[in-house]
Amino acid sequence: MEISLQNRITFFSELLTCSHNILYWCYDPELELLNGDTPKAPVYDALLSINGCKDYLRSRLEENTNPLILSDTMGLMWAAVPELSGGQTTRIHVIGPVFISDISANTLEKHLSEKGYSIKIKKTFLELLHALPVLSVTSFFQYGQMLYYTIRGEKIAMSGFHFQLPSPEQKPGHDIPVKMRSSKESHGTWAAEQELYRMVAEGNTDYQEAWDKLAVTGSYPMFSLGDPMRQMKDMALTLTAVTCRTAMWGGLTPELAYTLSDYYIQGIESASAIPEIQEILRAMFQDYVSRVHDMKKNSHVSRQIQDSCNYIQIHSAEKLSIADIAAQVGYAEYYFSKKFKKEMGISVKDYIKKIKVERAKIILRSETISIQEISEALSFGTLSYFAETFHKFTGMTPGEYRSKFTE
């Protein structure tokens, strides 16, 4: 017997209150609240608005109808799923807000004490804070997936969600005892990690399912240095370090593996929002896996040519000359060019362009810097040359690629 959508929504919204008391909201396509008949509805609606999340949701809905994870600088998170009819959005179903760690709430309480506000102000704000549920990112993602299933009637992996990345304006701001993990969550995390790292060592590019499994079953470190952003960054740094070592076990040269690690660590430390860190992690993982994959595929290639490829990959942001690369591996330019083409099936010049384009693809997916800046950062000379080269290898302009990937 098929259950109507409205009954599914009613049942799901009641289920949400069973363990974490997560709130459910329904908006019209103009993002006016449809179920705002509770006294606190305007307050929660305002929380979605004041740090730009509602505006972001509005702008995304103009482009496509994918589900979203929204987050703000205070550590609050929402999941939003558009309901469709004839390809058009008829309603938007939102759950949240939730704090994604108790650190966020504790940090806000601490700030409040330091400011010396009156008892009335403190009491009112703390009442709001304590009413908001606190749960892990992975748990909230699971609720997001359940919301999607409730509305659309089909399953979705976490990779199907779009994560809000911070705009340039959205820039922000201790000792918590280590909590003992439960046996069940520890075993789930270890199993998911083992599978994922096995794929890195093998250069197995079909890792997406294993990645999603870690996002859902894995749990993040239970320590904190005082704020959720630091917690997420520390987790990301750990994941990057382990992936780097695993890639070396898979055969990637230490020089290349550590250089990549430095690049991604820099990105992680510069990140200003949790979804941004997640995007960097995805790009990092894909980078390592694909490089191990390519290296294994090219196992027939001589050591010197492999070293020259590594050199090009490490220095892909620089202006490279074939003569310099040849000198690095101890060959004359003419001999090196011939040998490279014979073993790799591609000229040195085209290989350099290919690697630069691969690097550009990563940056286009994971960072918000302009295409002009990417062109300059990768030493393409001119924007038009960058666009032409990019199109040659991908069939798309850099702008089209960025739009496609961030849909």
Partner 1 sequence: MKLKKEISLTSFLQKVKDCRGEVTFQTEEGDNLNLKSVLTGYIFVALMMSPEVLEEGWITCEEKEDYDILNEYLVP
Please report, as ranges, the residues that interact with partner 1 according to CB under 8 A: 40, 42-43, 45-47, 49-51, 73-74, 108, 111-112, 117-121, 124-125, 127-128, 172-173
Q: Which is nearer to partner 1, 3 or 131 (CB)?
A: 131
Instruction: Note whether 139 and 184 are within 8 A (CB).
Output: no
- What lies within 8 Å, CB to CB, of 124 at 6+ separation is none
What span, in angstroms and rounded, lies between the C-alpha atoms of 4 and 26? 16
- What lies within 8 Å, CB to CB, of 274 at 6+ separation is 71, 100, 137, 228, 229, 232
Q: How far is the CB of 140 from partner 1 (least distance, A)?
A: 19
- Residue 136, token pair as written in the block: 């892990």
Q: How far is the CB of 28 from partner 1 (least distance, A)?
A: 17
Instruction: Note whether 407 and 66 are within 8 A (CB).
Output: yes
Cα-to-chain-centroid distance, residue 74: 18
Q: How far is the CB of 74 from partner 1 (least distance, A)?
A: 6
Q: Which is nearer to partner 1, 46 or 323 (CB)?
A: 46
Q: How far is the CB of 259 from partner 1 (least distance, A)?
A: 36
Instruction: Note whether 152 and 266 are within 8 A (CB).
Output: no
Q: How far is the CB of 45 from partner 1 (least distance, A)?
A: 8
Q: Which is nearer to partner 1, 77 or 352 (CB)?
A: 77
Q: How far is the CB of 52 from partner 1 (least distance, A)?
A: 10
Q: Which is nearer to partner 1, 52 or 267 (CB)?
A: 52
Burial class (CB in 10 A: 0-12, 13-18, 19+), 354: middle
Amino acid code (one letter) for 139: S
Q: Which is nearer to partner 1, 74 or 320 (CB)?
A: 74
What span, in angstroms and rounded, lies between the C-alpha atoms of 190 and 15? 29
What span, in angstroms and rounded, lies between the C-alpha atoms of 125 and 110? 12
Q: Which is nearer to partner 1, 125 or 393 (CB)?
A: 125
